[in-house]
Chain A
Amino acid sequence: MKRYVATRLATMFGVLMITLLITIALVGSNMDTILKQGVVFQVRAEITENPGIAESFSSVEEFEMFVQSQIDQRVKSLGLDEPWYSPQRIGITMYKILLLDFGHATFLTSDSGSSDVKEIIFEKLPRTILLFTTATIIISIIGIFLGALAGSKVGSVVDRITSSFAIISSSFPVWWIGMLMIFVFSFMYQIFPARATPDIPSSEPGYFLALLYHMALPLITIVMIGFGSWAYLVRNFMVGIMQEDFILAKKTIGIKQKKIVYTHALKNAAPPIVTILALSLSGSLGGAIITEAVFDWPGMGRLYFEAITVMDLPVIIGATYILTVFFLISIFVADLLYGYFDPRVRTGQ
Chain B
Amino acid sequence: MSSISPQEIKQEFIRSKIGIAGISILIILVSISLIAITVIPVETFQEWNNPGNWISYPKVAVPAWVNYFQSEKIPEHQILDSPVISNRVQGEIIQTSHQFGVNYQYDDFPNDFIYEFTSAYSNSPLIQMSVIRPDGITLDLISSSLPYSENLAIHQERIFSTDEMIKKNLFLQSEHYRFSIQSLSSEDIIFSQIEQNVPLKGKYVFIINAISINSKIELTESKLIIGGKAFGVMGTDELRRDLAIGLLWGTPLALFIGLVVAIASVIMGLLYGVYAGFKGKKTDEAMMRFNDVIYALPALPFLIILSVTISNSIFLMVGFLMIFGWVGIAKVSRSMSLQIKTRGYVDAANMMGQKNSKIILKHILPQLLPYAFASIAISVPAAITTEAGLSFLGLGDPSFPTWGQILHDANTFGAAARGLWWWIMPPGVMIAITGLAFVFIGNALDAIVNPKLKR
Contacts and interface: CB of A to CB of B under 8 A. Distances in A.
Interface of A: 11-12, 14-15, 18-19, 22-23, 26-27, 30, 154, 167-168, 170-173, 175-177, 179-180, 182-183, 186-188, 194, 236, 239-240, 285-287, 289-290, 293-294, 304-305, 308-309, 311, 316, 319-320, 323-324, 327-328, 331
A173 B302 contact: no
A236 B292 CA distance: 26
B300 A171 contact: no
B308 A311 contact: yes
A176 B407 contact: yes
Interface stretch (B98-106, B167-175, B346-354, B415-423): B415-423
B264 interface: no
Contact of A26 (B289, B305, B392, B421): B305
Contacts of B424: 176, 179-180, 183
B84 interface: no
Given A167-B443, A171-B439, A286-B301, A12 B308 contact: no
A171 B301 contact: no
Nearest to A328: B296
B421 A183 contact: yes
Interface string B385-402: 100110011110000000
A173 B416 contact: no
Contacts of A179: 407, 410-411, 415-416, 424, 428
A26 B439 CA distance: 35
Contact of B431 (A176, A287, A320): A176
Interface string B420-455: 010011011001100110011001000000001101
Given A173-B385, A194-B416, A286 B300 contact: yes
Contacts of A289: 300-301, 304, 393
Interface residues of B, number: 49
Nearest to A14: B293
Contacts of B416: 179-180, 182-183, 186-187, 194
A236 B453 contact: yes
A183 B415 CA distance: 8
A15 B289 CA distance: 10
B94 to A, nearest CB: 57
A161 B428 CA distance: 22
Contacts of B431: 171-173, 176
B364 to A, nearest CB: 21
Contact of A30 (B309, B394, B395, B425): B309
Contacts of B394: 309
Nearest to B419: A187
A186 B432 contact: no
Contacts of B393: 289-290, 293, 305, 308
Nearest to B307: A308
B299 A286 contact: yes
Given A179-B411, A187-B417, 12 more contacts: A11-B292, A18-B297, A167-B439, A171-B432, A171-B439, A175-B389, A176-B424, A179-B415, A180-B424, A182-B417, A187-B418, A320-B302
B299 to A, nearest CB: 6
28 contacts: A18-B293, A26-B306, A154-B455, A167-B436, A171-B385, A172-B432, A176-B428, A179-B407, A179-B411, A179-B428, A180-B416, A180-B425, A183-B416, A187-B419, A188-B419, A194-B414, A194-B417, A286-B299, A289-B300, A289-B301, A290-B300, A290-B389, A293-B393, A304-B301, A311-B308, A320-B301, A324-B298, A331-B295
B381 interface: yes
Contacts of B436: 167-168, 171
Nearest to A182: B416
B39 interface: no
A239 B455 contact: yes
Contact of A323 (B298, B308, B419): B298
A12 B293 CA distance: 8
A172 B407 CA distance: 13
B419 A180 contact: no
A22 B316 CA distance: 17
Q: Which of B289, B296, B418: most chain A Cβ within 10 A?
A: B296
Interface of B: 289, 292-293, 295-302, 304-306, 308-310, 381, 385, 388-389, 392-395, 407, 410-411, 414-419, 421, 424-425, 427-428, 431-432, 435-436, 439-440, 443, 452-453, 455
Nearest to A163: B443
A239 B385 CA distance: 30
Contacts of A154: 455
A27 B298 contact: no
A19 B298 contact: yes
B439 to A, nearest CB: 5
B176 to A, nearest CB: 42
Contacts of A167: 436, 439-440, 443
A331 B298 CA distance: 11
A342 B305 CA distance: 37
A200 to B, nearest CB: 20
A172 to B, nearest CB: 5
B342 to A, nearest CB: 14
B289 to A, nearest CB: 7
Q: Which of B410, B417, B425, B453: most chain A Cβ within 10 A?
A: B417
A203 to B, nearest CB: 27
B432 A15 contact: no
Nearest to A7: B289
B424 to A, nearest CB: 5
Contacts of B432: 168, 171-173, 176
A19 B309 CA distance: 15
Contact of A331 (B296, B302, B381): B296
B144 to A, nearest CB: 45
A290 B439 CA distance: 23
A12 B436 CA distance: 35
B455 to A, nearest CB: 6
B93 to A, nearest CB: 58
Nearest to B296: A15
A299 to B, nearest CB: 14
A334 B71 CA distance: 59
Contacts of B389: 173, 175, 290
Contacts of A240: 452
Contacts of A11: 289, 292-293, 296
A323 B303 CA distance: 14
B451 to A, nearest CB: 13
A327 B298 contact: yes
A294 B416 CA distance: 10
A68 to B, nearest CB: 30
A170 B438 CA distance: 12
A19 B299 CA distance: 11
Contacts of B301: 286, 289, 304, 319-320, 323-324
Contacts of B292: 11, 15
Contacts of A239: 455
A182 B308 CA distance: 28
